[in-house]
């Protein structure tokens, strides 16, 4: 099926009319996320994020390679997002849609180019050996809010992942098996989260900004603004798509709101990670096994 | 050889979906169909079947394409394709996790039973008409002809051949794929073992490796998964 079934004009008008009256079709407030759920796999670096009916699994894996010749001190970090028909019949295999390229570009900007992951810490021997970290994002269910969900899943997976320990003795490098030495967590500098605002035109030229639109609302919107903020309120990137013009003051408002939302998201992910760590820490051995020093 | 966990209709968007854990491989699958088909894939008298296998890590490789061909030729005989001419039945299988201990050298067939099982459950969940159901299992043999339970492949150095079998609900052989070196005697032995795993056998002369923890066959296990789904769907009527 080459394209998504469009919603009918009646449905579109109903959604818009309801928004003008200050009501969303699923009864949420305008600045409210759908219920978010996060679970981790048995292995390190697998996170399953569910935002309403949208579901994304992120999986981190690593291998040892040669660093790029122009970046001798940096490891390699790649994010792969491929939408498959498992999420919606309108996603085709082998033919990237606009949505797919926008998604991967946004994640690239939000996580990779904002230097969330310290790639220098992935270097083993400068110029000859480094870790190549790979993040595979599998979208399993699609009901809008893809960027926000992917970002949560990816970040949670990165924070959950542990790479094998290495010991360097001159030119000799030993990669320790997970069973031999406790693997080490990645060094992550800050935790950026994406918040998507969907822009609707309200009554008498006023503007409506909706957080976390579902698939039906996404089809009716006139534009979207994606903001990436970390918990310190630092803005990492802004992207605006769609033709509608958005007022500068509205954007400032969005940034303020995004900073608030990100704090909640960050707390949620941290709690979930702590719960998972507690579950794995059988007999309280983790503190003895880990190699890193207390700061 | 054991189905640890099987559940139907786990996804919201797809017409039918299932998640299945088999031999440490966890696969989630979705079925969309019958849907509109691209002109070039359209078949005048039957439904076209499209299968996508996606690995847990990385993008698809020739291994996945080969698995897709195997699945396609198997499922074409199971799905009643003549019911929906000029349409498409789209099956997407996403491998979520692979076991820590893999048979070395890595067998591309090891994931096949999980893929087969998941696609069957997803098809059932999507209510696509089928001629029969099936069960699939994997079996490994050493060069001396001893069979190894696929769950304990730590001693993979001695592994000589790897086999995957699928049997229909009537007990007919549906798929037999093998790799490695073996002779017809070993194959026969593996075949009988696989049949017992899939279909179960009332005799007491069952070797310990083919005895499941619960002591029932794969077919009964899958039936239970489908039954629990149907019961959940019909609870409005039963209560």
SS (H, E, C) B10-77: CCCCCCEEEEEEECCEEEEEEEEEEECCCHHHCCCCCCEEEEEEECCCCCCCHHHHHHHHHHHHHHHH
Spell out which residues of chain A touch residue B97, defining contact as CB-CB under 8 Å. Answer: 41-43, 46
- pLDDT tens digit string along B1-13? 567 678 888 999 9
A146 in contact with chain B, both atoms CB, cutoff 8 A: no
What distance in Å separates the CA atoms of residue A194 and residue A154, rounded to the nearest whole number?
11
B150 pLDDT band (50/70/90 cuts)?
Answer: low
Helix, strand or coil, per DSSP, at residue B92: strand
- pLDDT tens digit string along B196-237? 888 886 544 444 444 444 457 888 888 888 999 999 889 998
pLDDT at A2: 65
pLDDT at A243: 82
The chain-wide mean pLDDT, for chain B, equals 85
- pLDDT tens digit string along B101-124? 655 556 788 899 999 999 999 999
Half-sphere exposure of A202 (CA within 13 A, CB side): 15
What distance in Å separates the CA atoms of residue A86 and residue B31, rounded to the nearest whole number?
8
A93 in contact with chain B, both atoms CB, cutoff 8 A: yes
Extents of the domains making up chain A: 9-294
Extents of the domains making up chain B: 5-237
Domain boundaries B5-237, corresponding CATH code: 3.30.230.70
pLDDT at B212: 45
Nearest to B166 by CA among B139, B130, B140, B203: B139
> For residue A131, what are its two tokens?
């870790």
| Residue of B204 and B92 predicted with greater confidence | B92
Q: Hey, are the CB atoms on B13 and A88 less than 8 Å from each other?
A: yes
A287 in contact with chain B, both atoms CB, cutoff 8 A: no
Which residue of chain A is at minimal alpha-carbon distance from B92? A86
Domain boundaries A9-294, corresponding CATH code: 3.30.230.70
ipTM value, please give it.
Answer: 0.89
Sequence-ordered list of residues with C-beta below 8 angstroms from that of A48, at least 6 positions apart, any chain: A38, A39, A40, A41, A55, A56, A57, A153
pLDDT at A291: 63
Place of tokens 């030729």: B73
B100 in contact with chain A, both atoms CB, cutoff 8 A: yes
Residue B141 CB burial class (10 angstroms; 0-12, 13-18, ≥19): buried
**Which residues in chain A show pLDDT less than 50?**
none
pLDDT at B208: 46
Average pLDDT over residues B77-102: 90
- pTM for the whole structure: 0.91
């Amino acid at each position: 099926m080459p394209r998504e079934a469009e919603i009918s004009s009646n449905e579109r008008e109903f959604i818009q009319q309801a928004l003008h009256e200050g009501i969303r079709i699923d009864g949420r407030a305008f600045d409210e996320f759908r219920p978010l759920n996060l679970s981790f796999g048995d292995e390190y670096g697998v996170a399953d994020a569910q935002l309403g009916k949208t579901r994304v699994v992120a999986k981190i894996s690593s291998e040892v390679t040669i660093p790029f010749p122009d970046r001798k001190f940096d490891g390699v970090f790649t994010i792969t997002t491929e939408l498959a028909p498992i999420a919606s019949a309108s996603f085709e295999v082998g033919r990237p849609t606009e949505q797919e390229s926008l998604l991967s570009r946004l994640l690239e900007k939000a996580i990779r180019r904002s230097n969330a992951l310290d790639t220098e810490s992935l270097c083993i021997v400068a110029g000859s050996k480094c870790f190549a970290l790979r993040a595979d994002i599998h979208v399993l269910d699609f009901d809008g809010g893809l960027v926000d969900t992917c970002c949560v899943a990816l970040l949670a997976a990165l924070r959950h992942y542990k790479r094998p320990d290495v010991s360097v003795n001159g030119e000799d490098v030993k990669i320790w098996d997970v069973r031999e030495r406790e693997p080490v967590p990645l060094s992550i500098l800050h935790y950026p989260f994406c918040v998507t605002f969907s822009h609707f035109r309200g009554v008498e030229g006023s503007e409506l900004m909706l957080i976390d639109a579902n698939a039906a609302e996404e089809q009716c919107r006139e534009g979207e603004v994606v903001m990436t903020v970390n918990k310190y309120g630092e803005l990492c990137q802004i992207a605006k798509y769609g033709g509608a013009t958005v007022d500068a003051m509205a954007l400032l408002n969005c940034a303020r709101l995004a900073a608030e939302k990100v704090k909640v998201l960050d707390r949620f992910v941290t709690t979930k990670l702590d719960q998972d760590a507690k579950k794995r820490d059988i007999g309280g051995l983790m503190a003895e096994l880990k190699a890193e020093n207390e700061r | 050889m054991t189905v640890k966990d099987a559940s139907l209709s786990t996804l919201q968007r797809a017409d039918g979906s299932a998640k299945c854990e088999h031999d440490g491989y966890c696969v989630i699958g979705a079925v969309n169909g019958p849907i509109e088909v691209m002109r070039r894939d359209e078949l005048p008298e039957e439904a076209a079947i499209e299968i996508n296998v996606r690995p847990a890590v990385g993008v698809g490789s020739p291994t996945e394409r080969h698995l897709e061909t195997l699945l396609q030729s198997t499922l074409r005989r199971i799905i009643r394709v003549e019911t929906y001419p000029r349409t498409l039945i789209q099956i997407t299988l996403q491998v979520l996790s692979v076991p820590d201990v893999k048979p070395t050298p890595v067998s591309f067939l090891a994931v096949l039973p999980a893929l087969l099982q998941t696609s069957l459950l997803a098809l059932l969940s999507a209510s696509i008409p089928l001629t029969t159901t099936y069960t699939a299992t994997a079996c490994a043999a050493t060069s001396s002809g001893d069979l190894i339970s696929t769950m304990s492949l730590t001693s993979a150095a001695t592994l000589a051949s790897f086999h995957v079998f699928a049997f229909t609900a009537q007990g007919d052989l549906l798929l037999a794929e093998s790799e490695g070196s073996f002779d017809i005697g070993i194959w026969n032995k593996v075949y009988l073992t696989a049949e017992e795993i899939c279909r179960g056998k009332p005799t007491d002369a069952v070797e310990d490796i083919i005895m499941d923890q619960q002591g029932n066959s794969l077919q009964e296990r899958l039936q239970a998964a489908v039954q629990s789904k149907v019961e959940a769907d019909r609870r409005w009527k039963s209560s």
